Amino acid sequence: MTSPLDAAAHEGIVLTGASKTFGLTKVLHDISLTFAPGTVTGVLGENGAGKSTLFKILAGIYEPDAGATLRVNGKEASLPLTPTSSANLGFAFVHQDLGLAGSLSVTENVFVGAMMRKRGLIDWKAQKVKVRELLAGLGVDVDPATPVQELTQAEKAVVAIARAVYARGRERSSLLVLDEPTANLTGVERDRLFEAMRAAAASGTAIAFCTHRLDEVLTATDSVLVLRDGSVVMQAPTSTISGEKELAKHILGRDLESHFPERTSHFVAGSEPAIRINELSGGGINGLSLDIRPGEVVGLTGLAGAGHDDVPDLILGSMNAESGTVSVGGKKVKPSSATDATAAGIAMLPADRKRRSGIMGASIAENLTLVSIGTFTRRGLIDARAERRSVVEAMEQFDVRPMGDPDRPLETLSGGNQQKVLIAKWAAKAGVKCLILHEPTQGVDVGAKRTVLEHVRRMAEQGVAVLLVSSEHEELSHLCDRVLIMRGGLVRREMVGATAKQITEQCYVAA
């Protein structure tokens, strides 16, 4: 294993010998690492590898086992940390959901809980000047009075970084942890965020950039830290990494030929559509017409604001359609009724997994059988034994980890394992004719991504029509029979057998 302590011992964040045990389970094993000032470290690992536990120790949420030491810029810090002592050390955290208040201004979001005051009153003028300085230093120029809900996703992410950097009145943080900040960004927006990361690092901040996107690590980081099964298995300069396959091997502990299942087509050209969308309008969509045949996988993408992100909710009926029709198996479905759409055979995995796709406080078993409980019901009574047997089989088939605990709450699983449970839920339901997936691998590690997409492909092989709405062009190129490019609420291009690069290029041509 490459030594993580290659930076000078008196610089940066140096954590040594950190372990963490919950009950009889040890989830971190003698972790030692360095986050050097002025650098961006890509932090990688499968869901459940220990990344969240590690950063919760640094955030003062979890207490490490005895024996760990922490040095910050040459000075020893007392463990365990508390949230307050973590903040006092200059540790700042930006989570995937950003935690911004959309109706409040940029200034109010940056200074929430730490308003600048003059003679006891909030000094709005000084705050606006400081916000402009902070955002300019991160490469963004927006009016401090702008409500956050009017910003682009990239601008929102930079505002969250500015707030974290300036926490408790500091000009910079000693450590800034970014958790999946690019999950909802387009290519151009990611580039802008990377520029902001670089600007923050240039001020001397050590940045830990957590992501599942291996290409981003290779292009946007100075070093790479990989965790597997609670241990550091590699920390090395990014320049020494040969490519994504090498990263995947470190993450998984084995070779992975491809992140994606082999593309095979199982639909019959000219067959009757499983789902027919005719002149559907609403949200950002202006008259969408689309047929998907049984067994066909159709991709839908575009740049931010192209309209593709509204299509799943319009079809399902969770967003009101202004006009148009949706038919499943030749029968029209009310485009304003999600209940009718589901009953007709439309299944959907929304992009917002935690709020809309699963019931986080319910068990794995309850989530798995939520839409198929009737299969186990006899004369109004649930056959609990048959239900449990089916759940255990599904957990094994979909490689849901940890194994053998159907009563475990869904919220305690990693993102990848949550998604496995949710795709298994629809795979178990009889009568599904069309499966709509909205960013299905967002926040999912490289191993779980392949498992999820393999089962999507398997459902297509069984005759289910699949609509895959995604900003992951590599995913679309490997999984889809054809890909549709949208702009201005309309389909502008249809592509068959396209590479990810060609899909990306066409998104910009269509724009």
Q: What SS3 string covers 17-73?
A: EEEEEECCEEEEEEEEEEECCCCEEEEECCCCCCHHHHHHHHCCCCCCCCCCEEEEC
Q: Kindly state whether residue 5 falls inside one of the protein's structural domains.
A: no
DSSP 409: B
Where in the sequence is the domain holding 437, given as residue range(s)?
258-345+431-446+463-511
Residue 84 tokens, joined? 């307050």
pLDDT at 2: 37
For the chain, residues with pLDDT lower than 70 are 1-10, 167-172, 184, 186-187, 255-259, 261-263, 335-336, 510-511
CA 419 to chain centre: 11
User: What are the Cα distances from residue 338, in Å, to 147, 292, 317, 347?
Assistant: 31, 19, 5, 10
CATH number of the CATH domain containing 480 = 3.40.50.300
Q: How many beta carbons lie within 10 A of that of residue 149, not counting itself?
A: 11
pLDDT at 10: 46
Question: Do 65 and 188 belong together in one domain?
Answer: yes
Torsion on CA atoms 233, 235, 240, 245, rounded to nearest 10: 40
Q: Kindly state whether residue 1 falls inside one of the protein's structural domains.
A: no
The model's pLDDT over 133-176, given as tens digits with 9 standing for 90+, comes to 888 877 788 899 999 999 887 788 888 888 887 765 565 689 99
Question: Do 377 and 468 belong together in one domain?
Answer: no
Q: Kindly state whether residue 4 falls inside one of the protein's structural domains.
A: no
Q: Kindly state whether residue 3 falls inside one of the protein's structural domains.
A: no
Question: Do 375 and 315 belong together in one domain?
Answer: no
The model's pLDDT over 402-453, given as tens digits with 9 standing for 90+, comes to 777 899 999 888 788 899 999 999 999 989 999 999 999 887 877 788 888 9
pLDDT at 257: 58
Question: Do 274 and 370 belong together in one domain?
Answer: no
Domain endpoint, select from 251, 279, 298: 251
Alpha helices in 293-353 (DSSP H): 311-316, 338-344
Domain endpoint, select from 251, 273, 292: 251
